[in-house]
Amino acid sequence: MTRTTLVPTGTGHHRMPTNAKHGLAPSSSSTLARAGRCTLVGAGPGDPELLTLKALKAIQAATLLLVDDLVSDAIVALAAPGARVVHVGKRGGCQSTPQAFIEKLTVMAVQEGETVVRLKGGDPFVFGRGGEETEHLRAAGIQVEVVNGITAGLAAVTSLGVPLTHRDHAHGVVFITGHAKPGDSGTDWRALAATAHSARLTLVIYMGISGARHIQDELLCGLPAHTPVAVIQNASLPQQRQAVCTLGELQPTLEREHLSSPSVIVVGDVLQGLLALQQPLSQQALRA
């Protein structure tokens, strides 16, 4: 396996990974005859045992893997010995490789006859920009297959032994991002809180750590301060850590426990039992 990390140069250009055997320059002839294929593969939350069989087979068959951040090394290690691995994320303190460049690289590699796997954390179609990538590749005439992965929110909640839905506590679940695209005003957390309260929904917030204080303040406009919350960092990995608290205590808990990204924040009454285990009996009696 050959590893490459793509580092944007800061000039708007990018160093192409060089490899004599698998040069990625577009070939002028026999492109169609050698056309490869591309599969967007969900790597799950990190634990290799949570990969689907389909994902494992695709990873093992790949000649080129374009790997996002948040894909664990143990999963990348499943690639075939001759495969080339290109990290296209922020690892090692690099800037994230711009999406357009990743898409261009994928098109060129497929045209060169590579069996490309775009390996993404969790599920490629849950906050993974998989939609944008498949649209672009299909527009370039490339067939893309998508293999689901277990999304982080699902694994995170399950790791606490708690269900996302429960007939007594939650009639549904909302996967939502805490981080809007630049220029987008983002989620109306107050409206969401009111809906979650009346419709009894579990909220699973991705990318919510940096905006946690704002999210907490806004959610408190529609949900009681004693609503249970869990924050799970590095779900499914050996370094997983978590904290359970109330919505009113979210930000101080994050600071006290030093919880950081990648984490999911889960809000809802499905966590009631878990919260009760954390609180002294006197506080539980006060709320009853």
- Residues in the interface with ligand SAH (CB under 6 A) total 25
Q: Which stretch binds ligand SAH (CB under 6 A): 28-36, 90-98, 117-125, 131-139?
A: 117-125
Query: Catalytic one among 68, 120, 123, 269?
Result: 68
SS3 sequence, 180-205? CCCCCCCCCHHHHHHHHHHHCEEEEE
Residue 24 or 88 having the CB closest to ligand SAH: 88
User: Of 118 and 120, which has the nearer Cβ to ligand SAH?
Assistant: 120
Interface pick for ligand SAH out of 88, 108, 119, 126 (rule CB under 6 A) = 126
Binding flag, residue 187, ligand SAH (CB under 6 A): no
Q: Which amino acid is at 4?
A: T
Q: Does 57 qualify as catalytic in the annotation?
A: no
**From the list 4, 39, 46, 215, which residue makes contact with ligand SAH (rule: CB under 6 A)?**
46
Catalytic residue among 1, 90, 188, 217: 90
The dihedrals phi and psi of 10, each to the nearest 5 degrees, come to: 90, -5
- 218 counts as binding ligand SAH under rule CB under 6 A: no
Buried b (16+ CB within 10 A) or exposed e, 17-35: beeeebebeeeeeeeeeee
Indicate which single residue of 152, 170, 176, 230 sits in contact with ligand SAH (rule: CB under 6 A). Answer: 152
Beta carbon of residue 154, minimum distance to ligand SAH (angstroms, whole number): 8
Question: Is residue 269 annotated as part of the catalytic site, yes or no?
Answer: no
Annotated active-site residue 184? The verdict is: no
**Contact in structure between 3 and 85 (CB atoms under 8 Å):** yes
232 touching ligand SAH, by CB under 6 A: yes
Selection from 223, 221, 125 nearest residue 170 by Cα: 223
Q: Which of 16, 54, 104, 207 is catalytic?
A: 207
Interaction of residue 45 with ligand SAH, rule CB under 6 A: yes
Instruction: State which of residues 2, 195, 261, 279 lies at the interface with ligand SAH (CB under 6 A).
Output: 261
Q: Residue 53 class from Cβ within 10 Å (0-12 exposed, 13-18 middle, 19+ buried)?
A: exposed
Residue numbers annotated as active site: 68, 90, 207
Chain residues in the site for ligand SAH (CB under 6 A): 45-46, 70, 120-123, 126-128, 151-152, 156, 206-207, 232-237, 261-264
